[in-house]
């Protein structure tokens, strides 16, 4: 870049003097020096030239007719488009008073005529440089200001986010507290329910046994005295006694699941299945059920409860059969550090909307053609959850169902016990 260039263009100088000879002389000198020069003869012309194309610097004569240099400078400084242009007064007036006035109206320098050319150039260069630096500073200032604004806005946004986060944490804490309270209440009401079911079933058993005894006596001793219709009634009473006894038995064992005194032990999966199948021999034979199973892992828990779990699920798979003979397959895979068991059948299946419903106590879908109490799956769920797993069903009506349940591996149980031991050293 040439030494007299601003932003790639030649430095633009405006000279104002009402004396054409002076104007020409200065103009030629500056052009030779490499400046781009515009020369005007009056204050009016100077103002319009400065407005239409603001120069980088103005050399301004003071004594001019109509409008003197002070007035020109005053107007330039009062206009936002021209106020930044440095103005150097060039005048024959050399009184201190004149110079002071020149600075007062906004001039940056004052050169007295006759002048030394080198002095004019040196002063011009100095003010051009100063002005350039000042503009740069202003630009930087502006950038700084806008950066500060951006940062302030970002800080405000962050504070708002923080506030939202604080509110969210508070909300979650409240929800957690409410949940904990609800859980405690649920656990208490569950315990109450278990206790009630236990006592009620227990207390119902002895009057039921008495009714059953009298009905049997009636059947044995009164057979001859009673007509066929009455004998039928007695038969019905005995059947109902049996069914109620079964219901009480299941309810009692459901209520006592959490109070099992049997210790947890390592249980080979095959042994559990074989025991369950043995208990179901009659049903399997009657229904010509084909039951297959893969190699099953050993699990840790209460033996009688796991036999019960497999027995309930297999018994249902046989009971809720279709026309064709039941085909049932059991398997287990290791998945996400837990075992995933599955019991698949080719029975009647259920509609997906009842998938949760059937695990609730006394909830039955097929009440008409299939005998049952509605306690079996509730028992299964309680057993699985008691051993740290969960249970669910996937089913297609008319095609069959698969019951899934998870159980922690031995390693996982050991890890949990260690964490508990560390967490509760006493
Ligand atoms: P119960 O068999 O005594 O009715 P459960 O609690 O064992 O009670 O089962 C609840 C309900 O779930 C059953 O009444 C039946 O409608 C449905 N169900 C259970 N197992 C199956 C199955 N393998 N296939 C189709 N439906 C089933």
Q: What is the pLDDT of residue 257?
A: 84
Measured in angstroms, how far is the CA atom of residue 115 from the centroid of ligand 1? Answer: 115
Using CA atoms, how far apart are residues 126 and 107, in angstroms rounded to an integer? 14
302-358 pLDDT per residue, tens:
999 999 999 999 999 999 999 999 999 999 999 988 999 999 999 999 999 999 999
Place of tokens 């060039």: 90
Mean pLDDT over 6-24 rounds to 86
> What is the SS3 assignment for the chain?
CCCCEECCEECEEEEECCCHHHHHHHHHHHHHCCCEEEEECCHHHHHHHHHHCCCCEEEECCCCCCCCHHHHHHHHHCCCCCCCCCEEEEECCCCHHHHHHHHHCCCCEEEECCCCHHHHHHHHHHHHHHHHHHHHHHHHHHHHHHHHHHHHHHHHHHHHHHHHHHHHHHHHHHHHHHHHHHHHHHHHHHHHHHHHHHHHHHHHHHHHHHHHHHHHHHHHHCCCCCCHHHHHHHHHHHHHHHHHHHHHHHHHHHHCHHHCCCCCEEECHHHHHHHHHHHCHHHHHHHCCEEEECCCCCEEECHHHHHHHHHHHHHHHHHCCCCCCCEEEEEEEEECCEEEEEEECCCCCCCHHHCCHHHCCCCCCCCCCCCCCCCHHHHHHHHHHHCCCCEEEEEECCCEEEEEEEEECHHHHHHHHHHHHHHCCC
Whether 391 shows a pLDDT value over 90: the answer reads yes
Q: What is the pLDDT of residue 424?
A: 53
Measured in angstroms, how far is the CA atom of residue 372 from the centroid of ligand 1? Answer: 8
Measured in angstroms, how far is the CA atom of residue 365 from the centroid of ligand 1? Answer: 7
Provide the percentage of residues in the chain whose pLDDT is more than 90: 70
**Residue whose C-alpha is closest to residue 284's, from 250, 342, 325, 246:** 325
Measured in angstroms, how far is the CA atom of residue 316 from the centroid of ligand 1? Answer: 6
Mean pLDDT over 253-269 rounds to 83
Pick 379 or 195 by higher pLDDT.
Answer: 379
In short, whether 357's Cβ falls inside 6 Å of ligand 1 is no
Whether 187 shows a pLDDT value over 70: the answer reads yes
Q: Which residues partner with 394 through β-bridges?
A: 402
Over the chain, what is the mean pLDDT? Answer: 90
Mutate which of 377, 379, 380 for ligand 1 pocket (most atoms within 8 A of beta carbon)? 377
77-103 pLDDT per residue, tens:
999 999 999 999 999 887 888 899 999
Whether 299 shows a pLDDT value over 60: the answer reads yes
Q: What is the pLDDT of residue 196?
A: 78
Mean pLDDT over 14-21 rounds to 95
What is the number of the ligand 1 atom nearest to the C-alpha of 375?
A: 6
Q: What is the pLDDT of residue 7?
A: 55
Minimum CA distance residue for ligand 1 atom 11: 364
Q: What is the pLDDT of residue 423?
A: 59
What is the number of the ligand 1 atom nearest to the C-alpha of 378?
A: 6
Using CA atoms, how far apart are residues 84 and 43, in angstroms rounded to an integer? 18
Whether 426 shows a pLDDT value over 50: the answer reads no
Q: Is 301 left (phi over 0), alpha (psi -120 to 50) or beta?
A: left
In short, whether 164's Cβ falls inside 6 Å of ligand 1 is no
Q: What is the pLDDT of residue 397?
A: 95
205-228 pLDDT per residue, tens:
889 999 999 999 999 888 888 888
Whether 174 shows a pLDDT value over 70: the answer reads yes
Q: What is the pLDDT of residue 98?
A: 86
Using CA atoms, how far apart are residues 223 and 422, in angstroms rounded to an integer? 70
Q: Is 349 left (phi over 0), alpha (psi -120 to 50) or beta?
A: left
State in Å, rounded, how far the first CA of the chain is from the last one. 83
Calculate the alpha carbon distances from 289 to 269, 280, 286, 306, 403 in Å: 20, 11, 8, 21, 17
Q: What is the pLDDT of residue 183?
A: 86
Whether 70 shows a pLDDT value over 90: the answer reads yes
What band does 1 get if pLDDT is binned at 50, 70 and 90? Answer: very low
| pTM value surpassing 0.75 | no
**Residue whose C-alpha is closest to residue 103's, from 129, 127, 138:** 127
132-150 pLDDT per residue, tens:
999 899 999 999 999 999 9
What band does 425 get if pLDDT is binned at 50, 70 and 90? Answer: very low
Mutate which of 289, 319, 364 for ligand 1 pocket (most atoms within 8 A of beta carbon)? 364
Using CA atoms, how far apart are residues 391 and 404, in angstroms rounded to an integer? 6
Provide the percentage of residues in the chain whose pLDDT is more than 70: 95
Mean pLDDT over 268-286 rounds to 95
């Amino acid at each position: 870049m040439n030494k007299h260039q601003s932003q790639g263009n030649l430095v633009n100088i405006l000279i104002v003097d009402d004396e054409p000879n002076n104007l020409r002389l200065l103009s030629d000198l500056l052009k030779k020096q490499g400046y781009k020069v515009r020369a005007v003869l009056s204050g009016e012309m100077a103002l319009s030239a400065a407005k239409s194309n603001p120069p980088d610097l103005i050399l301004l004569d003071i004594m001019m007719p109509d409008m003197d240099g002070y007035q020109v400078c005053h107007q330039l400084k009062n206009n936002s488009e021209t106020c930044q242009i440095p103005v150097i007064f060039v005048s024959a007036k050399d009184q201190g008073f004149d110079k002071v006035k020149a600075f007062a109206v906004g001039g940056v320098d004052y050169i007295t005529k006759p002048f030394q050319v080198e002095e004019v150039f040196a002063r011009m260069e100095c003010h051009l440089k100063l002005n350039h630096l000042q503009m740069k500073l202003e630009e930087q200032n502006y950038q700084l200001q806008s950066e500060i604004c951006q940062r302030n806005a970002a800080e405000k946004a962050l504070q708002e986010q923080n506030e939202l986060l604080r509110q969210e944490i508070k909300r979650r804490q409240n929800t957690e507290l409410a949940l904990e309270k609800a859980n405690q209440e649920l656990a208490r009401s569950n315990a109450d329910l278990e206790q009630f079911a236990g006592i009620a079933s227990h207390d119902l058993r002895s009057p039921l046994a008495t009714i059953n005894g009298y009905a049997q006596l009636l059947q044995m001793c009164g057979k001859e005295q009673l007509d066929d219709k009455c004998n039928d009634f007695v038969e019905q009473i005995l059947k109902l006694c049996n069914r109620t006894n079964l219901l009480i038995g299941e309810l009692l064992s459901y209520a006592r699941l959490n109070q099992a005194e049997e210790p947890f032990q390592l249980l080979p999966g095959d042994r559990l299945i074989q025991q369950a199948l043995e208990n179901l021999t009659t049903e399997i034979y009657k229904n010509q059920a084909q039951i297959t199973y893969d190699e099953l892992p050993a699990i840790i828990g209460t033996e009688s409860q796991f036999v019960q779990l497999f027995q309930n699920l297999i018994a249902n798979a046989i009971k809720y059969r279709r026309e064709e003979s039941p085909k049932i397959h059991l398997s287990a895979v290791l998945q996400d550090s837990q075992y995933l068991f599955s019991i698949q059948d080719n029975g009647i299946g259920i509609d997906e909307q009842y998938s949760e419903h059937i695990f609730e106590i006394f909830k039955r879908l097929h009440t008409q053609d299939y005998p049952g109490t509605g306690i079996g799956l509730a028992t299964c769920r309680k057993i699985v959850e008691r051993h740290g797993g969960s249970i669910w069903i996937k089913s297609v009506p008319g095609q069959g169902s698969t019951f899934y349940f998870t159980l922690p591996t031995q390693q996982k149980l050991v890890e949990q016990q260690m964490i508990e031991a560390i967490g509760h050293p006493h």
